[in-house]
Structure 1
Amino acid sequence: MTDTLHGHRLYGVPHSLFTGIARSYLRTQGIPYVEIPTRDPDYAQRIMPVTQRAIIPVLETPDGEIIQDSLDIIDHFERQGVAYSAYPAGPLQRVLAIIVQYYGCQAMLPHAMHYRWSYREQQEGFLRDAFASGSGAEMAEKIMGRMNSYLPQLGVTEQSIPAIEASFEALLDVLNAHFAEHPYLFGGRPSIGDYGLIGPMFAHLGRDPVPAGIMKTRAPRVFRWVERMTAPGLDTPDFPGYGTDFLPDDQIPDTLEPLFQHIATEIFPMLTDKLSVLDALIAKHEPKDGEPVAPKPHQRYVGLAETQFRGVSVQTGVQPYLLYILRRADEVLAGCGEDQRAKVRSELAARGLEAALPGDRGYSVDRRSHIEVWSRPG
């Protein structure tokens, strides 16, 4: 039963990357909710039988609808109409925001997990308290061990760690310069790109002691943005008179260009190599429309890609979920006129990001009955 005082129930925990995205959105929009930890018996008894797996965040609406995944939660409210839509009207801003979203909640998973678990000894007390408060003391050790074990499949190795840390520091530098002049990525309100970034930048990198210390000392404007993204409404007193809209005429601020250069350098060739793994998987198994992407609902990785990150050879897991995010950029272009579509593609190519759009591959990924499935044209 939902809480009529708070309206919506958000099942999640403070240290969860994807819960942080949904929470940030709810707070920005002023949507009443109460957050419920996964140790609550209600989660196992009522929510998991519907979602078919132990996964967060899950939102339960006042009328009992259950929505799983931060992106689906955002899109649920976007369809209803909210105070500060996360999707810019301009096609270039919108496509770039989706690419930033992908970078934040997918390409930054190695950064988030490295700083959490490679520095476990320095953060043990903080992490143990966080996991115990979310899942109970008995489950904390088991969950922490499982999370720690994910590092190799994320490409976090002794060889790649220096590149990951250099990447984090470079990201802080470019974002710090941008947030000195703008409250959010594309203007006066958070975009879907801001929400993609806030997942790792709050739950792991802005909260765990080691990376949070680096952020506060190296990039105070970034830390202030993290505060802004987790506060109610638009917390922008340091930008008086800035306004609450996205920048007009689909313009991209000069201060954001280094971020796109950074992203283009880091997501390739890993993204193209992951897409190649998915292409080969589809060619081999020829799944039907609606067929689950993995044999079991809790499985999100379907293979390994041999690739590189910042020139370092890595082996990393492949999640079809990446297509669930990036296909939205293709949909933006599909809704444009021919001239506008060509202009956006030209702008993406100039930034080295045109290949971030998967394009027509004869398949995509959808979510049906809370499970990722292959989507095939009829």
Structure 2
Amino acid sequence: MSHQDTVNRLYGVPHSLYTGIARCYLRTQGIDYVEVPTSHPDFADRIMPTIQRSIIPVLETPEGEIVQDSLDIIDHFEKQGVRYSAYPDGLLQRVLAVIIQYYGTQAMLPHAMHYRWTYRDDQEVFLRDQFAAGVGEAMADKIMSRMNSYLPQLGVNDHTIPEIEASYEQLLDTLNAHFAEHPYLFGGRPSIADYGLIGPMLAHLGRDPVPGNIMKVRAPKVFRWVERMTAPGLDTPEFPGYGDKFLADDAIPETLDPLFAQIADEIFPMLTDKLKFMDSLIAEHQPEDGQPVSPKPHQRYVGAVKSSFRGVPVQAGIQPYLLYVLRKGDEMLAEGSADDQARVREALSARGLAEALPGDRGYTVDRRNHIEVWERR
């Protein structure tokens, strides 16, 4: 290893959605790391040739192992054993946590990007400062314009914006009530659900001036959770005696019922339509096991589909990566006993989330050599 670090290196930037997930996890666990911007020469010289694209976050261990993707970074350390495992023991908590993780890291991208770029004039000074700090003034303009251009494929337009904003405010109200009673989503420590949700809720919605101010004024307990997620260890002085365990007996707090209702209301029919599109793609092209999902590694989208969001027609881009997130729920379910599986399926149905797991479709998405590939089953 060419550098002298004896700690983990996290390549990322403060205003990055996915970097925030990894950073929160490392801080919670007390794992030594140093955050390095992508402008560091090592990123271009050593990291990008390995991961084959410019994407963050990337973790480089003191041993020289390279791990790309926030979810993979979490699993890298979970396998080694950490103080506060992000995976609950209860099967229902685990599967619901995957669905919340999907909601945060995929279904909330329109929220994050809308509030950052539609209100660009109101927060230009802040955004320019953030982007320039990571890549320098000259590159900042290019990257900001490119990010701005993503809004249409995320389904952000004049028709959907009122629904996206209503969705954000509804989410804040629900979470504010929940975090009045519990420090994290499923109890006394963060789960993969918290880490999934913190992505959009920190980098964009918690830090950018316009949505951050809405959060502080409308939902102070949510803002406090964002602070808690970014603090070292478990920052829970408001909950003396609560402990650091997940809720016992696979219990789901009633305060999360409105959250699951909102998720069911918002991820469908878009998720179903995206899965149908991918089914057709696979049937038509019959990719081999291990074939990259797109011709070039930096291409995340494989097409677009007409669907709807909260009843409003929308055209949305399709990232096969969504299957990489959701497949975990199927894998967890498959490991449960027959009774456990039946109990969880019934609980998902009761919450309108039976179709949230892709199930066995003859294919899924894996990551090999840092690239998303089709996995045939």
1:227 aligns to what? Answer: 227
1:206 aligns to what? Answer: 206
Amino acid at match of 2:247: L
Q: Does the Cα contact within 8 Å between 2:28 and 2:232 map onto a contact in 1?
A: yes
Within-5 A mapping of 1:1-378: 1=1, 7-377=7-377
Q: Distance in 1 between matches of 2:2 and 2:374?
A: 32
Q: Does the Cα contact within 8 Å between 1:38 and 1:134 map onto a contact in 2?
A: yes
SS state of the match for residue 293, structure 2?
coil
Amino acid at match of 1:316: A
| Pair 1:2–1:244, CA change in 2 (3 A) | farther
Q: Does the Cα contact within 8 Å between 2:15 and 2:204 map onto a contact in 1?
A: yes
| Pair 1:87–1:3, CA change in 2 (3 A) | farther
SS state of the match for residue 287, structure 2?
coil
Identical residues among aligned pairs (%): 74
Q: Which runs of 5+ in 2 are unaligned?
A: none
Query: With structure 1 as the length reference, what TM-score do the two structures score?
Result: 0.99
SS state of the match for residue 307, structure 1?
strand
SS state of the match for residue 159, structure 2?
coil
Q: Distance in 1 between matches of 2:60 and 2:332?
A: 29
Q: Distance in 1 between matches of 2:168 and 2:229?
A: 19
Q: Distance in 1 between matches of 2:299 and 2:65?
A: 24
CA deviation after TM superposition for structure 1 residue 305, in Å: 1.1
Q: Distance in 2 between matches of 1:225 and 1:361?
A: 37
Moved over 4 A (4+): 2-6
CA deviation after TM superposition for structure 1 residue 5, in Å: 5.5
Q: Does the Cα contact within 8 Å between 1:2 and 1:60 map onto a contact in 2?
A: no
CA deviation after TM superposition for structure 1 residue 339, in Å: 1.3
Amino acid at match of 1:151: L
Aligned CA-pair RMSD: 0.8
Amino acid at match of 2:181: E
Q: Distance in 2 between matches of 1:203 and 1:143?
A: 16
CA deviation after TM superposition for structure 1 residue 337, in Å: 1.2
Query: With structure 2 as the length reference, what TM-score do the two structures score?
Result: 0.99
Q: Does the Cα contact within 8 Å between 1:106 and 1:322 map onto a contact in 2?
A: yes
Q: Distance in 2 between matches of 1:39 and 1:9?
A: 14
Q: Which runs of 5+ in 1 are unaligned?
A: none
Q: Distance in 1 between matches of 2:233 and 2:114?
A: 31
CA deviation after TM superposition for structure 1 residue 223, in Å: 0.1
Q: Distance in 2 between matches of 1:296 and 1:218?
A: 43
CA deviation after TM superposition for structure 1 residue 4, in Å: 5.5
Q: Distance in 1 between matches of 2:364 and 2:246?
A: 30
